[in-house]
Structure 1
Amino acid sequence: MLGLILVVLAAAGFGNCHGYGRNVTYDGRSLIIDSHHLLLFSGSIHYPRSTPQMWPSLISKAKQGGIDVIQTYVFWNLHEPQQGQYDFSGRRDIVRFIREVEAQGLYVCLRIGPFIESEWTYGGLPFWLHDVPGIVFRSDNGPFKFHMQKWVTKVVNMMRSEKLYASQGGPIILSQIENEYQRVEGAFNGKGSSYVKWAAGLAVGLQTGVPWIMCSQQDAPDPVINTCNGFECGVRFRGPNSPNKPSMWTENWTSFVQRYGQEPFMRSAEEIAFHVALFIAKNGTYVNYYMYHGGTNFGRTGAARVITSYYDQAPLDEYGLIRQPVWGHLKELHAAIRLCTVPLLSGLHETSSLGYLQTAYVFKGKSGECAAFLVNKDDSSNARVRFQNISFELPSMSISILPDCKNVAFNTAKVSTQNNTRSRRVKHIFDSTERWKEYAEPIPTFSNTSLRAEVLLDQMSTTKDTSDYLWYTVCFQHDPDAQVELSVLSNAHVVHAFVNGRYKGYAYGGRNNFVLEKTVELKNGTNNITLLSVMVGLPDSGAYLESKTAGIRSVRIQNKYLNNYQWGYQIGLLGERLRIFSTEHEVQWSPYQARGHRLIWYKTWFDALSGDEPLALNLGSMGKGEVWVNGESIGRYWVSIHTPEHRPSQTWYNVPRSFLKPRGNILVLLEEEYGNPLGITLDGVSIT
């Protein structure tokens, strides 16, 4: 009871709005704020993957779930898409997001990076960095360090000017520099280790008044704290690289990234709770759930082949609805662990064997407090153990938490929270042919292109992330009429082929090269071969990211290679350039004809729907493309590619209500394949 009272008092202390400077330090046990050791549960919520209208509810639900800290990356390419041109409006308003966290009495962990990976296109780095002469990303490289230092300093100065650091009375208690660098460090040889030291020095030298961390970086230089990322940090983490640093887990993956063509990765509430409890039992005092709310990859922000819905299996789903039992089970876990706070943070730690696969982790406080974690690692059977002359039944692969070393307050395998089910109800059907219009994307030929090269250009270097699309077109002389084999080698994601303006087929691939092979008819004389190369997001990881390429690598007709012919190029689609998805830009739309042609833009309109439940477009009748509502892209869709279970990876696409007007909402889709817009519905989303 004394421990519980102290916990409540401590929670009240850091739950108040921060009106004065706080001293944030750490020791080998935990983070220390104003001389108080703290046990902290954190949840990742990324401000651009939701809307400002959603932020208060997301943060409130996280707080109700026992979360103390909100963790977010800073998305450099979102804020500085063009060098020197900054945008911190709308979903990009990071200051507003942090203010909302502060208003609800929670702390912030700010992961500046600036490389973040995060299944975000180009790992969060702006593509203009690619064109900086002599640059090598994330290395002891002068040009990269210059721009990285400039950006990190700008972010820190912005936070400082808004008085958002805890040292100024704000909510930010931690910052992160770099991200999971140890995975690629060896590829840079000596320039990797020297870069780590430089990055740590940059961070510490900015004097924010709060500690800095490096995740998955065992050699993080003092005083930067090395932290763990993964599913099982209680098992795999080697621990802090100094006895004076606390044991911290920055990414406890509640699910895992899902790409188009893959099934979702489901992680049970029991498994997540087991590994959290084990990490705490092994002296951990900071656990962050990645993600606590995943959200939506709006627009073209998702990395290569990453679906638009992000970590939908998290405690708060894509729409911000509570997902049970994981949310409730973790809430109960947090409450049980907090009952152990006093001995956990100030007591002596002992470990003893209770059996072959059973262990007791015991914490004894100075005033007689005692807390124990009884672990059964046997994944096939229960175990009966004796601890302090009391018999306990431990379910298989579970941990019992005893705040007083006598009574079980919580067992990770026993879920008392009831499951809930997410359902969708059709609220509007877009089945009226009279309300649909269409616009056929023109197919370019060599003669109407202005960009020319006697080589097959790299798509990423050519488009510079301004579009998912790059047209390759060439004139080819053939004599006489014949059927021939067209073979196209690509390392993009999709390629479509047109011969003399007629569609001939497509192919798609993933991480590796793929080949489109089609038998095509060539006429006697000049033939126009037009290829559309498509990227579904840029790569987001790996060493030498600036050197990665994509696009068409080789083109062959029968036995003749066209690689060194003069090619014409068009960056992006004409509809993109004309911004026909925006209400301010119009083209000559035609009545809907249901011709089933490729590369068709579709447009319709609808009035806002009553109620306040989340809304989602059911695009099950469509193929592949992108969708806009009132000019706002709600993301890429790729319904036609199926998982091994023969179903789309994603069928419903989030439509935030803040994107809607009371009347006359404009829905625009770019369809690459044979989608049927008459089958689209707008559904209400709820949980029961």
Structure 2
Amino acid sequence: MVSATIFSYQGKSSCFFRNANSNDVTINFQNTMYTIPAWSVTILPDCSTEVYNTARVNTQTSIMVKKDNQADESKEPFVLKWQWRPEHYFEHIKKNGFVDGSEGLNHISLCNATVGLANYGANFDMVPVGISSGPVRLIAKQRLDNLRKFGKTKYILEDISMELDHSKWTYKVGLHGEEELKLQEPYFSQHQKWSQGPVPTNRMFVWYKTTFKAPIGSDPVAVDLMGLGKGHAWINGHSIGRYWPSYLAGEDGCSSECDYRGSYSDSKCLTNCGKPSQRWYHVPRSFLRDDENKLILFEEAGGNPFNVKFQTVTVGKACANAYEGNTLELSCQGGSAISEIKFASFGLPEGACGSFRTGSCESSNALSIIQKECLGKERCSLDVSEKSLGPTGCKATNRLAVEVTC
């Protein structure tokens, strides 16, 4: 479907063209021809001059790369030395576990973690959660009878259960290590006893602690928590949030190609199938010290801290598209310079970032002009026009596509 919307006020008008089809469409509007790319909106502030189209974005796309922390040259690369200690409730549950044949008063302890709300909307606070939404049962085997046949005895067993949903429950909010011992705080943490090893893995309700040096430079810092289960992380006492890298997306539905055009579907352009929704967590440099830094984890689901490492994030390569009549700016970051022009074509280039290819026509001078203008610089600015980049001989609107390495 193609539509034109006109807004008028005090004798002035602005227009919006919408093309909801899967193909480009050319329309005649007020005796002027306009080509509207598929699945896009064109903005004309004066109902005559096109100033923006959502499919013709003139900007840079940065492909980020991660570099491992080499700040501490005395250690093996990426290796962190860990200490640990159990969470109080884990030991409490072990000591008060079930014993077959026990008599008298027995206790059962349950640990509950809440991530978000159970529901939303009106009266969501009335939705029963926790023990009340059970069931919680004690189940045992009871021998009802036995049969003796051909000199052998066969026992008949039946499950019997005791409902605990409506028993008298008491509760305590918070973790012993967080609220009482304040293990996440560097000052309080150093006054507590931590075990040097062996460090347990795949254990629930355990605290981990390590030290590291801040990565050199000014690039953003991230910590890779792949291998952990679910829990909470602190840097020098500052929370960097809860983590859950063990929760994986579905295995199916991802495709190497992405096309949003046409009717909407939540199955379009899926990525990272079979992978966690997040494994890298941002560490603000304002949280870091010049000397020693502390990372403390509370792992509640069971994981392996030996895969954790700190990295910096920087621009590895940059791709850009710009239509004629615009100015295109390319840039690296963190003091890096443009070291290579991997692709440059001004005309009708095809493909996408990482797979650009020359179209049916192009300027023969564009590549050398861009190399002269951008190589060795942290940033450069390009006037996208035949006057600056050379004639193309194309009959359609020219476009510049560039891919550079930082």
Q: TM-score range by the shorter chain?
A: 0.5 to 0.7
Q: What SS is found at the alignment partner of 1:552?
A: helix
* Cα distance in 1 for residues equivalent to 2:90 and 2:219: 44
Equivalent position of 1:573 in the other structure: 175
The answer as to whether partners of 1:499 and 1:529 remain within 8 angstroms in 2 is no
**Larger helix share, 1 or 2:** 1
- Write the distance in 2 (CA, Å) between the matches of 1:544 and 1:360: 41
| CA distance in structure 2 between the partners assigned to 1:551 and 1:375 by the alignment | 50
Alpha carbons of structure 1 residues 546 and 404: separation in structure 2 relative to 1, 3 Å: closer
Cα RMSD over matched residues? 2.7
Residues 463-512 of structure 1: per-residue CA shift (max 9 Å, x gap)? xxxxxxxxxxxxxxxxxxxxxxxxxxxxxxxxxxx56567xxxxxxxxxx
The separation in 1 between residues aligned to 2:167 and 2:41, in whole angstroms, is 67
Matched, 1:646 2:288: no
2:192 — aligned with what? 587
Structure 1 residues 676, 615: CA separation in 2 closer, same or farther (over 3 Å shift)? same
Cα distance in 2 for residues equivalent to 1:651 and 1:371: 45
SS at structure 1 position matched to 2:61: coil
Displacement of 1:582: 0.7
Q: Is the 8 A contact 2:86 2:207 kept in 1?
A: yes
CA distance in 2, matches of 1:524, 1:684: 57
- For residue 621 of structure 1, the aligned residue among 210, 216, 227 is 227
SS at match of 1:604: strand
Instruction: Say whether the 8 Å CA contact 1:603–1:667 is kept in structure 2.
Output: yes
| 1:51-90 residue CA offsets vs partner (Å, 9 max, x unmatched) | xxxxxxxxxxxxxxxxxxxxxxxxxxxxxxxxxxxxxxxx
TM-aligned CA deviation for residue 614 of structure 1: 1.2
Question: Which position in structure 1 is the counterpart of 2:216?
Answer: 610
Listed as ranges, the matches of 1:122-521 within 5 Å are 357-361=2-6, 363=8, 366=11, 370-377=13-20, 379-427=21-69, 431-432=79-80, 435-443=81-89
Give distance in 2, aligned partners of 1:370 and 1:525.
85
Letter in 1 for 2:64: R
Query: What whole-Å deviation, never above 9, does each CA across 1:602-645 have from its counterpart, x for those lacking one?
Result: 11112222211111110002111101111111111111111112
- Choose the corresponding residue for 1:537, options 116, 130, 141: 116
Task: For residue 395 of structure 1, report the CA deviation from its aligned partner.
Answer: 2.0
Partner secondary structure for residue 391 of structure 1: strand
Match of 1:557 among 125, 134, 138: 138
Give the conservation status (yes or no) of the 8 Å contact 1:427–1:682. Answer: yes
Deviant stretches of 4+, over 4 Å: 498-502, 538-541
Residue 335 (structure 1) aligns with: none
* Preserved CA contact (<8 Å) 1:441 1:574: yes
Amino acid across the alignment from 2:79: D
Query: How many angstroms apart in 2 are the aligned matches of 1:499 and 1:439?
Result: 15
The answer to whether the Cα contact below 8 Å between 2:42 and 2:53 also exists between their aligned partners in 1 is yes
2:82, 2:199 within 8 Å by CA — same for their partners in 1? no
Cα distance in 2 between the residues matched to 1:560 and 1:595: 35
Deviations 1:309-347 (A, max 9, x none): xxxxxxxxxxxxxxxxxxxxxxxxxxxxxxxxxxxxxxx
Shift of residue 398, structure 1, vs aligned partner: 2.3
Q: Provide the identity percentage.
A: 34
Change (3 A) 1:444 1:385: closer
CA distance in 1, matches of 2:88, 2:46: 73
TM superposition shift of 1:365:
5.4
**How does 1:107-126 map onto structure 2 within 5 Å?**
none
TM-score normalised by length of structure 1: 0.35
Note the C-alpha offset of 1:524: 1.8
Q: Identify the residue that residue 512 of structure 1 maps to in structure 2.
A: none
The residue that corresponds to 1:658 in the other structure is: 286
Higher Rg: 2
> For the residues of structure 2 that align with 1:543 and 1:438, how far apart are their CA atoms?
44
Q: Please give the alpha-carbon distance, in whole angstroms, between the structure 2 residues aligned to 1:501 and 1:534.
A: 20
3-state SS, counterpart of residue 111 of structure 2: strand
The letter for the 1-side match of 2:228 is M
Is contact 1:444–1:530 with CA below 8 Å preserved after alignment?
A: no
1:525 aligns to 2:102 (yes or no): yes
How many residues align structurally? 259
Residue 328 of structure 2 corresponds to residue 680 of structure 1: no
Contact 1:375 1:398 in 2 (8 A): yes
Confirm or deny: 8 A CA contact 1:431 1:677 kept in the other structure: no
Structure 1's 424 and 540: CA in aligned 2 closer, same or farther, altered over 3 A? farther
Structure 1: stretches of 5+ with no match in the other structure: 1-355, 449-497, 503-520
Q: 1:568 to 1:593 in 2, by over 3 A?
A: farther
Amino acid at match of 2:245: V
CA-to-aligned-CA distance 1:127-165 (integer Å, 9 cap, x gap): xxxxxxxxxxxxxxxxxxxxxxxxxxxxxxxxxxxxxxx
Q: Which residue of 2 aligns with 1:636?
A: 242
Change (3 A) 1:362 1:441: closer
Note the C-alpha offset of 1:580: 0.9
Q: Answer whether contact 2:4 2:15 (CA < 8 A) is retained.
A: no
Instruction: Please give the TM-score of this superposition, normalised by the length of structure 2.
Output: 0.57
How far is the alpha carbon of 1:594 from its aligned partner?
2.9
Partners in 1 of 2:285 and 2:292 — Cα distance? 14
Instruction: Identify if the C-alpha distance between structure 1 residues 566 and 370 changes in structure 2 by more than 3 Å, giving closer, same or farther.
Output: closer
Indicate conservation of the 8 Å contact 1:628/1:634, yes or no.
yes
1:437 Cα shift?
A: 1.0
Deviation at 1:409, TM superposition (A): 2.4
* C-alpha separation in 2, matches of 1:415 and 1:402: 15
Distance in 2 between residues matched to 1:540 and 1:612, nearest whole Å: 42
Q: Is contact 1:606-1:665 (8 Å) kept?
A: yes
Contact 2:205-2:300 within 8 A present in 1 as well: yes
1:542 Cα deviation after fit = 2.0
Q: Give the partner amino acid of 1:634.
A: I
Amino acid at match of 1:525: S
Give the superposition deviation at 1:525. 0.7
How many angstroms does 1:572 deviate by?
A: 1.9
